[in-house]
Structure 1
Amino acid sequence: MKVYTVSDIHVDHKDNLKQISAISQTTYQNDILILAGDISYKIGMISHVFELLKEKFREVLFVPGNHDLWVRDDSAKDSIDKFNQIMALATDKGILVQPAHFGSLSIIPLLGWYDYSFGEPSEKLDDLWVDHKACIWPEGFNEASITEFFVSQNNEHLKIKNKFIISFSHFLPRIDIMPSIIPQDNRKLYPVLGSVKIEEQIRELKSDIHVFGHSHVNLKKEQDKTIYINNAFGYPYEKLVTGKKLMLIHEI
C-alpha cells in the first residue's frame, strides 16, 4: 500500500479538472491519497471530485482549504456553515476527515487557518487577499478566533500513537520551511499562510511526515525530526513551483 499526496487542485480551472479526471482508474486501487485542501469554492464541484477520487483510490483523506470555504452564492449562510456542509458531504461520499489507521501507520488530518503568527498583514495584503471578501464569518470572529475554532477540533487526536505518523493540514505550520529564494515582494503573503498553533500540534503528535498545501510552493524539507512536504497542483499557469502530479510519500 502506497500513500500519495496532492493539494490545491483548483478544479474550477478546466485544465486542472481534466488532469485530475485523467488519474488512472486502476493503478491506485490499493493506495491512499491525502488531499490537503482547495478543491473548489463550488459545493457541487467538491462533491464531483470526492466521487471521482474515491473511485480511483482505496481511501482518500481530506481537509478543507480556504478556497473551499468561500461563500459566493446562497448555498451556505457563512463559512462555518460551508465547512459543516463539506465535512458532512465528505463523510457521505466515503472520504475520510478523521484520523485513519492502517496497521503501523496513522494518518491524522489537522484543521487550521491563519492567525498572523507569521507576521502582521500590510494594507496591501488586506486589499488583495480574496478571503477577506469571499469568506463570511459569524459576528465577532477574527483571524485568531477562526484559527482557534479549527485547531481546537484537533485536540482529541493529539494523543494518537503509532509506529509511523503522517499528519496533514492545508495551512502551513511554520514559516521557516519556506525556501529562502522566495522574492521579498512575495513574502507579503506570509501572514496568511498558516499558524504556529498547527506546529504545536505536530510537535505533540511527533509526526514523522507532515503534509500541507496553500502556499503553492512545492518542497520537501526535514526539520526537527519531521519531514515537511508540499505537493500543490496549483493553477494552470504555475509551472515552476508546482508539480502537476501525485507525490508518493510513504509505503507500507
Structure 2
Amino acid sequence: MHLASEPNREALQDLPSHDEDWLIVAGDIAEKFEHVRLAFETLTRKFAKVFWVPGNHDLWAIPDRNDGPALAGEARYRALVDCARDYGVLTPEDPFETWEGSGGPLVIAPLFLLYDYSFRPDHIGRDEVVDWAREEGAVCADELFLNHAPFESREDWCARRCEETERRLEEIPDGLPTILVNHYPLRRDLIHIPRAPRFTPWCGTRRTEDWHRRFNARVVISGHLHTRRTDWRDGSRFEEVSLGYPRQWDQNKGMAHYLRDVLPE
C-alpha cells in the first residue's frame, strides 16, 4: 500500500466499505507507525475482518520524530503486532482463522518468513550475492534499514521464522485447504521484475518452494514485487497483489479497482 505516498493515503480514505468481506493485506503498509495506524483504523472500519503480514518497509528502522527513536528488528516486529491487535487486525502471531463462507472451509494462515539470500544462482556464493546484484543496478535499501537484532543475521532470523511457522502449519488438520499469506513470494519462479532481474536475493527463501503442496494451499498471496499477476503451480493459485507507488497504479480507477476476490474463485 506504501502509504508514505499521499496519493495512496487519499485513495485509502476513498475506498468504499465492504462490510461483509474479509481483507488480506500482504505487507508494506508504510515505514511510519502513524501510517500503519491510519491503515488499520481505516480498514477495520471498512471490512468485517482484516489480516496483515509485515513487509520489509514496515520493518525499516528509520528515525521518526512522531514516534521517537526507531525500533528495530524483532522489537519493531513485535510493536507492529501489538499495534495491529489494538485494532483487532489478525497477524502471524495469532491463531489461524477458518473461512466458512463461499468456497470454504479454508484456513487463512498469515506468515512472516523473511528471506535468506538463497534466491540466487547456484554458482553465486552468499558473500558474493550483494555485489552480483549491484552489477546490474539491483540494490535493496534493506541493507541499510532492515535491522535483524537480536539475531546474528537476516538469514538466522529467516530460519527461526520458517522453523516456527512450519510447526504451526503442520498442526492444521489433514485435508483442510489453506490460504497462505506472506509478503515475500514462496517460489523463485514467481519472481518477474524486468526492471531489476537481480533483485531476487531479497525476495524469499528456497525453504518454502514446496509449501503450497505440503500445506494444501488453494491460494498463496504475496505483496513484495510490485508486479501484479496471477500464476498457477501444481493446482495452487499464486496472487501477487501489490498496489505499489503512485506511478505503478491508475489513480483514476481508485484503490478499489485493485482489490482481488480470493473466494469464490
Matches within 5 A, 1:162-201: 163-179=176-192, 182-183=193-194, 186-201=196-211
Matches within 5 A, 1:101-250: 101-103=98-100, 104-119=105-120, 120=124, 121-123=129-131, 125=133, 128-138=139-149, 141-154=152-165, 155-161=167-173, 163-179=176-192, 182-183=193-194, 186-239=196-249, 245-250=258-263
Q: 1:130, CA displacement in angstroms?
A: 0.6
| Pairs aligned (count) | 237
* Equivalent position to 1:23, from 15, 34, 38: 15
Q: 1:171 to 1:84 in 2, by over 3 A?
A: same
Q: 1:163, CA displacement in angstroms?
A: 4.5
Which structure has more RCO (C-alpha within 8 Å, separation ≥ 6)? 1
Q: Is the 8 A contact 1:40 1:46 kept in 2?
A: yes
Q: 1:140 to 1:47 in 2, by over 3 A?
A: closer
Q: 1:91 to 1:139 in 2, by over 3 A?
A: closer
- Equivalent position SS for 1:24: coil
Structure 1 unaligned segments of length 5 or more: list them: 1-8
- Structure 1 or 2, whichever has the larger Rg, is 2
Q: Is the 8 A contact 2:3 2:9 kept in 1?
A: yes
RMSD: 2.2
Q: Is the 8 A contact 2:106 2:177 kept in 1?
A: yes
- Equivalent position SS for 1:58: strand
Q: 1:149, CA displacement in angstroms?
A: 2.8
Write out per-residue CA displacement over residues 51-86 of structure 1, whole angstroms, 9 at most, x where no aligned residue.
Answer: 100000000011000000011124444221110000
Quick one: which amino acid aligns to residue 178 of structure 2?
I
Quick one: which amino acid aligns to residue 100 of structure 1?
E
**TM-score of the aligned structures, taking structure 1 as reference length:** 0.86
Overall identity of the aligned pairs, in %: 25
Quick one: which amino acid aligns to residue 106 of structure 1?
V
Alpha-carbon distance between aligned partners in 1 of 2:56 and 2:214, rounded to the nearest angstrom:
25
Q: 1:88, CA displacement in angstroms?
A: 1.2
Write out per-residue CA displacement over residues 8-53 of structure 1, whole angstroms, 9 at most, x where no aligned residue.
Answer: x00000001111111113xx10101010000011112111110100
Quick one: which amino acid aligns to residue 117 of structure 1?
S
Q: 1:147, CA displacement in angstroms?
A: 0.8
Structure 2 unaligned segments of length 5 or more: list them: none
**TM-score of the aligned structures, taking structure 2 as reference length:** 0.82
Q: Is the 8 A contact 2:188 2:209 kept in 1?
A: no
Alpha-carbon distance between aligned partners in 2 of 1:100 and 1:210, rounded to the nearest angstrom:
15
Q: 1:47 to 1:152 in 2, by over 3 A?
A: farther
Alpha-carbon distance between aligned partners in 2 of 1:93 and 1:75, rounded to the nearest angstrom:
23
